[in-house]
């Protein structure tokens, strides 16, 4: 039975900002560029495609229709949104629904599968389909080493990264946005110092975020102020040594100057690789929250936490139901997705990785009257992430009982004692649990979908209470509605106050009561330590990693940045990204204080 052609009747709560963004970016257009669908049609298109997967597991017409309606209201009432490619592509010719991919790059120009130019081609196909790509360039021989076939010299990983960057310029993701990439080089690669410096010039390699893959050996050398070995990628021989502190200092200086490179604690991340028998984590997706194997993929989706708070109380039952529904939604995506490469299709069905995360966490805290930078705020972060993780896995377990565990389950970290993957000491990494998905939780940046949902992004604090947002080239005013309604209710609202807040980027003004100054504290005014403490609290209950920017004021020193990098490692974060206010041009978000 076909689905109804028009969306169901019922409460839809999309804002004008959301409608503008959808119109500009995601709605189906005619040849003249005019949208031929409304946002409601788009969400119905997505809901029906994703619900359809249930039919393969024996659901009746009626059940599939009812599920599509549930998915539709889940999204249009802004309780959950899937990652952008799902919104753009579901039910359309591309049909590619995932945001994150990682491709291997072998040290050959072409070997017919994963040489430099083979993966370049795969990258273009993934970008065209709306996905972002991550690469490790660590297998490429270093600059200046010999190339046997031509007796020439190799140009090294960075020159090939520049090639990938140039190609990225030419292909628009899903026909709407430019491709995004992550480039990773291990800290023990001989070209690491060039890599650390390769984005010093802000006009270069702009389609890549870069991170250094930091090993435990390196961190041990750093703590002992010793040296560590660099290896020739071609044969594993030790070719040189560097003093760990020198390399670390250069990375910190780069991060202080421009925000790059970030770091990816690759050994720490690999401890929790759910399927080590299939290989180690290769790299992360462009924004860093999703470590992936070679040819791995993840579809993300985020629950809007602020939605579940009313009158200062969290409705945990409603959240539990929506977490289950969202997990079901993401698992269905794997079955209806059209993957750009057969290798990716095959792996995705063997491990069924999904990434359920959050957005609107800062809104949740505001509505509970809890400052982000407080012990209570951090504890709330830990608690809500634990809830998401436990409830998401309960649904994944239910789906496994109904539809089967992911095919690699028995040998994964979740499998039975006799077969499951263990750590180096032979200990279980995770308690046994039957699961449909090898990973369930990831916290994404939610850059666009948080605008669609009209909420704060990811687990980030409020960026500002009043500011101008550059969205796809259009400057849009944004004021925090919770703040405005509290100010009006308590009688200290004025337009002039809002202007002052927008101009100064701070709520520290005499008429704002101290309690609200604390609750509405914004990203730039929250200490870096609290950013990291929050990231670490979420990380405790997250299968994958966390997208988080630790903000520094413009006047922060290099030592301040160094302290945060070391704290992040000690607190078992899987990566760090910092941003010192004003250190880059063309910020997406800007407050009056820095614009
Ligand atoms: N991403 C991308 N291009 C972009 C933004 C994001 O490829 O311009 C991918 C990337 O893998 C990133 C992931 O989408 O890590 C999630 O980003 P975000 O949550 O901001 O995406 P949204 O779903 O809100 O568009």
Q: Parse the chain into domains and list their residue ranges.
A: 1-77, 100-284, 456-590
287 lines ligand 1 (CB under 6 A): yes
Cα–ligand 1 centroid distance for 2 (angstroms): 32
- Under a CB-based contact definition with an 8 Å cutoff, are residues 231 and 187 in contact? no
* Model pLDDT for residues 436-449, shown as the tens digit of each residue: 999 999 999 999 99
Place 475 in a pLDDT band, splitting at 50, 70 and 90.
low
Place 589 in a pLDDT band, splitting at 50, 70 and 90.
very low
- Under a CB-based contact definition with an 8 Å cutoff, are residues 21 and 474 in contact? no
DSSP string covering 130-146: T-EEEEE-TTSPPTT-E
pLDDT value for 594: 36
Answer with the residue of higher pLDDT: 172 or 330.
330
CA gap 66, 331 in Å, rounded:
17
Class of domain 100-284: alpha beta
- 82-116 in b/e burial notation, b at 16+ Cβ within 10 A? bbbbbbbbbbeebebbbbbbbbbbbbeeeeeebbb
* Model pLDDT for residues 20-79, shown as the tens digit of each residue: 999 998 999 999 999 999 999 999 999 999 999 999 999 999 999 999 999 999 999 999
pLDDT value for 312: 96
Q: Whose CA is nearest to atom 12 of ligand 1?
A: 287
The mean predicted confidence, pLDDT, of the chain is: 94
Checking if the pLDDT of 397 tops 90, the result is: yes
- Under a CB-based contact definition with an 8 Å cutoff, are residues 347 and 502 in contact? no
Write the CB contacts of 397 (distance below 8 Å, at least 6 apart in sequence). Answer: 433, 434, 435, 436
Length of the chain: 595
83 lines ligand 1 (CB under 6 A): yes
**What ipTM does the predicted assembly reach?**
0.94
358 lines ligand 1 (CB under 6 A): no
Collapsed DSSP state (helix, strand, coil) of residue 575: strand
302 lines ligand 1 (CB under 6 A): no
For residue 23, the tally of other CB atoms under 10 A from its CB is: 16
Cα–ligand 1 centroid distance for 151 (angstroms): 42
Q: Whose CA is nearest to atom 20 of ligand 1?
A: 447
Q: Among 87, 175, 292, 444, say which to mutate for ligand 1: greatest number of ligand atoms within 8 Å of CB.
A: 444
CA gap 190, 237 in Å, rounded:
11
pLDDT value for 224: 98
pLDDT value for 499: 86
Q: Which residues are catalytic?
A: 285, 287, 289
Collapsed DSSP state (helix, strand, coil) of residue 437: coil
pLDDT value for 593: 45
Write the CB contacts of 512 (distance below 8 Å, at least 6 apart in sequence). Answer: 487, 492, 497, 520
The CA radius of gyration of the chain, in Å to the nearest whole number, is 24
Cα–ligand 1 centroid distance for 226 (angstroms): 38
285 lines ligand 1 (CB under 6 A): yes
Q: Whose CA is nearest to atom 7 of ligand 1?
A: 132
Per-residue pLDDT, averaged over 96-125, amounts to: 97
Is the torsion defined by CA of 222, 223, 226, 230 positive or negative? negative
97 lines ligand 1 (CB under 6 A): no
Place 419 in a pLDDT band, splitting at 50, 70 and 90.
very high
CA gap 111, 163 in Å, rounded:
18
Q: Among 132, 211, 303, say which to mutate for ligand 1: greatest number of ligand atoms within 8 Å of CB.
A: 132
DSSP 386: H
pLDDT value for 474: 67
Checking if the pLDDT of 1 tops 80, the result is: no
Q: Whose CA is nearest to atom 3 of ligand 1?
A: 180
Answer with the residue of higher pLDDT: 584 or 590.
584
286 lines ligand 1 (CB under 6 A): yes
For residue 594, the tally of other CB atoms under 10 A from its CB is: 14
Indicate the range of 244-258, 454-468, 482-496, 577-591 predicted with least confidence.
Answer: 577-591
Cα–ligand 1 centroid distance for 57 (angstroms): 30
Checking if the pLDDT of 595 tops 60, the result is: no
Dihedral in degrees, nearest 10, Cα atoms 262, 529, 583, 357? 60
Residue with tokens 């990816």: 264
pLDDT > 70: percent of the chain: 96
* Model pLDDT for residues 399-417, shown as the tens digit of each residue: 999 999 999 999 999 999 9
181 lines ligand 1 (CB under 6 A): no
Q: Whole-angstrom distance between the N-terminal and C-terminal Cα of the chain?
A: 54
446 lines ligand 1 (CB under 6 A): yes
* Model pLDDT for residues 311-362, shown as the tens digit of each residue: 999 999 999 999 999 999 999 999 999 999 999 999 999 999 999 999 999 9
Cα–ligand 1 centroid distance for 446 (angstroms): 7
Checking if the pLDDT of 429 tops 90, the result is: yes
pLDDT value for 219: 96
């Amino acid at each position: 039975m076909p689905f109804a052609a028009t969306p169901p009747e019922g409460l839809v709560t999309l804002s004008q900002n959301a409608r503008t963004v959808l119109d500009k970016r995601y709605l189906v257009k005619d040849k003249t560029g005019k949208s031929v669908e409304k946002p409601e049609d788009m969400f119905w298109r997505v809901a029906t495609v994703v619900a359809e997967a249930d039919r393969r597991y024996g659901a009746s017409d009626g059940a599939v229709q009812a599920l599509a309606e549930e998915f539709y209201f889940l999204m249009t009432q802004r309780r959950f949104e899937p990652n952008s490619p799902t919104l753009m592509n579901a039910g359309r010719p591309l049909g590619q629904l995932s945001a994150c991919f990682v491709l291997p790059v072998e040290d050959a120009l072409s070997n017919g599968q994963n040489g430099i130019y083979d993966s370049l081609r795969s990258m273009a196909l993934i970008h065209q389909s709306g996905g972002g790509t991550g690469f490790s360039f660590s297998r490429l021989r270093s600059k200046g080493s010999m190339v046997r076939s031509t007796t020439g010299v190799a140009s090294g990983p960075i020159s090939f990264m520049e090639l990938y960057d140039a190609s990225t310029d030419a292909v628009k993701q899903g026909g709407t946005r430019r491709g995004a990439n992550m480039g990773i080089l291990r800290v023990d690669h001989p070209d690491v110092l060039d890599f650390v410096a390769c984005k010093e010039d802000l006009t270069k390699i702009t389609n890549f975020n870069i991170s250094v893959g930091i090993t435990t050996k390196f961190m041990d050398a750093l703590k002992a102020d010793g040296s560590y070995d660099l290896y020739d990628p071609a044969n594993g021989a030790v070719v040189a040594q560097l003093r760990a502190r020198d390399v670390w200092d250069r990375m910190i200086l780069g991060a202080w100057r421009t925000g790059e490179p970030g770091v990816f604690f690759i050994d720490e991340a690999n401890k929790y690789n759910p399927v080590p028998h299939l290989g180690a984590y290769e790299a992360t997706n462009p924004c860093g929250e999703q470590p992936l194997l070679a040819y791995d993929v993840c579809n993300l989706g985020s629950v809007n936490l602020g939605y579940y708070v009313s009158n200062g109380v969290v409705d945990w039952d409603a959240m539990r139901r929506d977490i289950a529904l969202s997990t079901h939604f993401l698992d269905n995506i794997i079955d209806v997705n059209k993957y750009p490469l057969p290798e990716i299709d095959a792996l995705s069905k063997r491990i069924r990785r999904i990434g359920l995360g959050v957005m609107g966490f800062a809104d949740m805290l505001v509505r509970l009257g809890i400052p982000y930078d407080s012990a209570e705020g951090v504890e709330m972060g830990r608690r809500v992430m634990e809830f998401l993780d436990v409830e998401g896995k309960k649904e994944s377990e239910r789906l496994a009982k109904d539809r089967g565990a992911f095919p690699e389950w028995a040998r994964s970290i979740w499998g039975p004692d006799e077969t499951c993957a263990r750590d180096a000491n032979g200990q279980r990494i995770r308690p046994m649990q039957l699961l449909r998905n090898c990973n369930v939780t990831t916290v994404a940046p939610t850059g666009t979908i948080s605008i669609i949902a009209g909420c704060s992004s990811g687990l980030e604090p409020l960026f500002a209470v009043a500011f101008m947002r550059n969205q796809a080239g259009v400057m849009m005013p944004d004021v925090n509605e919770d703040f405005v309604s509290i100010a009006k209710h308590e009688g200290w609202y004025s337009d002039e106050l809002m202007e002052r807040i927008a101009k100064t980027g701070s709520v520290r003004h005499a008429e704002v009561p101290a309690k609200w100054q604390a609750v509405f504290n914004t990203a730039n005014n929250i200490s870096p330590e609290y950013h990291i403490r929050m990231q670490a609290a979420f990380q405790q209950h997250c299968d994958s990693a966390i997208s988080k920017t630790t903000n520094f004021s413009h006047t922060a020193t290099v030592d301040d940045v160094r302290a945060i990098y070391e704290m992040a490692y000690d607190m078992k974060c899987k990566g760090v990204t910092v941003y010192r206010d004003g250190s880059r041009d063309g910020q997406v978000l800007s407050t009056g204080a820095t614009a």
